[in-house]
């Protein structure tokens, strides 16, 4: 399989920039390449290997029918999380992690159902028939529910993987996933603890372009898993017709049809890989601003 991303793409996105040397977690030492002007630089060779491992895990999980929950509530990550999670039809949280989203999922599901009911009432015009004060209160409550729960409106069960862009900011999400035994894939910067993460991706968790790149890789892994799952469903053998015996010519024709179907599936897969490669190669290489590489609270 071709590389998930290239070293050049990681460099252009500023994935190698860590935090200041005085603000680091010693457990990240094995992922650090060196230091420049008081800033730690991450070893991108390890990042490439870790990305490939995360890609494979996501692809195989989705191919087996699993869900991936994208989590990134920092200002720099919100747009990327929403864009790529929606592109591959996966749930996401990009505004605020509400305690219990995983550990108290049943209660959270009831709140999602409440949000959907309010949406139905708004669309049917029931809000217009209410007293203004009551309608205003419900509208405000609905807006709050949509902001916090809109990304998980289609999530009917707990995810099989949680993908996190900043483990310090999203420490509650990581803790809940760990408690439930849900694997966590995360971008881990030099100031974070890698021991609580199942699949560590050493990288810059502050830069916008770094977050976009990481989200895109996971999104493409999901899409490949969905492609594999669809082919599994499409390749299930039909129920044989026992009312008639197959002749030798029938068997030959069936074998030819199966071979053509395999070739068509392989060609479709190659076209998808080619399209992904072209998309990555054509992505702009804007310069990183210093502000993108500073941690925000």
Question: Where are the chain's structural domains?
Answer: 1-102+158-233+284-297, 103-155
Residue pair 194/188 in contact by the 8 Å Cβ criterion: yes
pLDDT at 290: 44
Start-end of H helices in the chain: 7-12, 44-63, 78-87, 105-124, 126-129, 132-149, 171-180, 208-234, 248-281
- How far apart are the C-alpha atoms of 79 and 66, rounded to whole Å? 24
- How far apart are the C-alpha atoms of 209 and 259, rounded to whole Å? 43
Q: Please give the C-alpha separations between residue 116 and each of 60, 134, 140, 146, in angstroms, as whole numbers.
A: 32, 18, 14, 9
Is 245 a residue whose pLDDT tops 60?
A: no
Can you tell me the mean pLDDT for 70-92?
96
Closest CA to 210 of 58, 52, 86, 42: 42
Lowest model confidence (mean pLDDT) among 30-39, 184-193, 255-264? 255-264
Is 285 a residue whose pLDDT tops 90?
A: no
Task: For the chain, give the mean pLDDT.
Answer: 84
Residue pair 215/70 in contact by the 8 Å Cβ criterion: yes
Can you tell me the mean pLDDT for 23-44?
93
Closest CA to 59 of 277, 220, 263: 220
Is 269 a residue whose pLDDT tops 70?
A: no
Can you tell me the mean pLDDT for 30-53?
94
pLDDT at 275: 58
Is 246 a residue whose pLDDT tops 60?
A: no
Can you tell me the mean pLDDT for 142-162?
95
Lowest model confidence (mean pLDDT) among 4-8, 57-61, 85-89? 4-8
Q: Does domain 1-102+158-233+284-297 fall into CATH 3.40.50.10490?
A: yes
DSSP β-bridge partners for residue 184: 162
Please state the three-class secondary structure of 111-163 as a single string: HHHHHHHHHHHHHHCHHHHCCHHHHHHHHHHHHHHHHHHHHHCCCCCCCCEEE
Which H or E run includes 73?
A: none
- How far apart are the C-alpha atoms of 221 and 53, rounded to whole Å? 11
Q: How sure is the predictor about 271, in pLDDT bands with cuts at 50, 70 and 90?
A: low
CB atoms within 10 A of CB 204: 27
Is 286 a residue whose pLDDT tops 70?
A: no
The CATH number of 103-155 is 1.10.287
Say how far residue 68 (Cα) sits from the centre of its chain: 6
Is 294 a residue whose pLDDT tops 90?
A: no
pLDDT at 4: 80
């Amino acid at each position: 399989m071709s590389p998930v991303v290239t070293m050049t793409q990681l460099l252009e996105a500023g994935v190698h920039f860590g935090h200041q040397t005085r603000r680091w977690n010693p457990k990240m030492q094995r992922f650090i390449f060196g230091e420049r002007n008081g800033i730690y630089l991450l070893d991108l060779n390890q990042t490439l290997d870790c990305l490939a491992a995360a890609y494979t895990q996501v692809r195989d999980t989705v191919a087996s029918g699993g869900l991936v929950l994208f989590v990134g509530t920092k200002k720099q990550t919100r747009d990327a999380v929403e864009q790529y999670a929606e592109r591959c039809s996966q749930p996401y949280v990009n505004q605020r992690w509400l305690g219990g989203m995983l550990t108290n999922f049943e209660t959270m599901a009831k709140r999602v159902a409440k949000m959907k009911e309010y949406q139905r009432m708004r669309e049917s015009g029931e809000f217009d028939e209410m007293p203004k004060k009551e309608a205003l209160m419900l509208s405000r409550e609905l807006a709050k529910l949509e902001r916090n729960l809109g990304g998980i409106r289609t999530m009917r069960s707990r995810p099989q993987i949680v993908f996190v862009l900043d483990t310090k900011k999203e420490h509650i999400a990581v803790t809940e996933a760990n408690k439930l035994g849900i694997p966590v894939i995360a971008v881990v910067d030099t100031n974070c603890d890698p021991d609580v993460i199942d699949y560590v991706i050493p990288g810059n968790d502050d830069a916008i372009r770094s977050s976009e790149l990481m989200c895109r890789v996971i999104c493409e892994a999901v899409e490949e898993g969905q492609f594999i799952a669809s082919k599994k469903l499409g390749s299930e053998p039909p129920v044989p017709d026992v009312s008639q015996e197959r002749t030798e010519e029938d068997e030959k024709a069936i074998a030819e049809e199966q071979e053509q179907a395999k070739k068509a599936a392989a060609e479709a897969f190659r076209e998808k890989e080619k399209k992904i490669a072209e998309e990555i190669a054509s992505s702009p290489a804007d310069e990183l601003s210093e502000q993108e590489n500073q941690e925000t609270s």
